[in-house]
Every structure is written in C-alpha cells, then in structure tokens.
Amino acid sequence: MNANQSSWSRTAADIFAVLARWLLGAVFLYMGLNKALHPVEFLKMVRQYDLVQSSLLLNSIAAALPWFEIFCGLLLLAGVAVRGTAVMLIVMLVPFTVLVFRRALAIQSAQAIPFCAIKFDCGCGTGEVFICRKLLENFFFILFSVWLVAGYGRKLCVRHSLLSCTAKTSLTEDGGSQISPNLPRL
C-alpha cells in the first residue's frame, strides 16, 4: 500500500513537473515574442529602470533579452538542457523581481496608494499588471525553476541534460538496473 502511494506520488510529481516546465517555457516564449516584436517599446521600459548609463549597454539588454527568453522558452518546451536553462531563468527572474519591487515602492511613495493597488507596465511583455500579482507570479516561476534545477520535469525531454554522457545505467530502488539517459536528481 505504501509502495503504491509512493509510486503514485512520484508519478504525480513527475506529471506536475513536466506541466510546470511547459508552462514556464510557454510563458517565456510568449513574453519574449511580445518584446521582440516591439523592441523600441521594450527599450523604453528598460530605460525606466535606470539600470545603465551607456546607450550601448541599454541597447544590448533591450535587443538580446527578448530573444534570450524565446531561446530559453523553446529549450524548456522541447526539454533540452533543462537544468541549465532553469538556472538561467532564476538568474533573470530574481534580479528582475527585485527591480520591479523597488520600482513599485518608488511609485507607492510618489502616489501614496496601497501597495497592491499599484499597476504599471513592468516591461514583462504582458502590459500593465498589478504589482502583487506580478510578484506572486514571479515567486511561482522562481519556485518552478528551482524545482527543475533539482532534477524534476525530465519526462518527455528531447535531451534533459546536455552534459550527460557517462550515466547510461541507473538503478531502481529495489536493486534492479535499467537503462536511463538521464542524470540523477540533485
């Protein structure tokens, strides 16, 4: 009975992780395409954050970021280099969330309105959003990404790990062996 339950929960976790991977991939693809189709609008958005003082750097961020998101989205949807891609997602999401939070605080102090009533276009590619919803959304995206880095979501992958050439054989928990192209979870 316990074995059945454990097997069922593993299957459920696997299915959920694959769905999370596809969701992340689709969201990044959609947001990246929205920005890549309107690069000037995105350039103005990036400028709003006062991140850099050099036009070359500003242009580079605005030019490359949308396509990089598209690239990551495609990798996640196809299931290629999932863990590495998820790390890159975290690298993008965490600083961006901090920036959005800081900007929201600035707007709050300027307009003196409740924090969750703040609505602005953060440059995410989805237009104007309420800040609390955006922060919550990003929190879940970061959570999903961490989950993928931990090794979940490897079902239905074209090549889960780019660098797995030695792990051809893995073991089942009851002592049997099976062929698996994937690396173990962290």
Residues engaged in binding another protein (CB under 8 A): 36-40, 43, 47-48, 50, 52-56, 58-60, 62-68, 70-72, 75, 81, 83-85, 87-88, 91, 149, 151, 161-164, 166-171, 173-177, 183-186
Question: Are the CB atoms for 24 and 89 separated by under 8 Å?
Answer: yes
**Phi, psi (rounded to 5 degrees) for 124:** -80, -15
Report the alpha-carbon distance of residue 103 to residue 92 in Å, rounded. 17
Closer residue to another protein in complex, CB, 59/108: 59
Closer residue to another protein in complex, CB, 87/132: 87
Cα-only R_g, the chain: 20
Closer residue to another protein in complex, CB, 48/133: 48
Closer residue to another protein in complex, CB, 45/131: 45
Question: Are the CB atoms for 122 and 45 separated by under 8 Å?
Answer: yes
Consecutive H or E run containing 9: helix 2-37
Nearest approach, Cβ of residue 136 and another protein (Å): 25
Three-class SS of residue 138? Answer: helix
Report the alpha-carbon distance of residue 7 to residue 5 in Å, rounded. 5
Nearest approach, Cβ of residue 164 and another protein (Å): 7
Residue 32's contacts (CB-CB under 8 Å, 6 or more residues apart) are 66, 67, 68, 69, 70, 71, 72, 73, 125
Nearest approach, Cβ of residue 82 and another protein (Å): 9
Nearest approach, Cβ of residue 151 and another protein (Å): 6
Closer residue to another protein in complex, CB, 59/132: 59
Nearest approach, Cβ of residue 97 and another protein (Å): 19
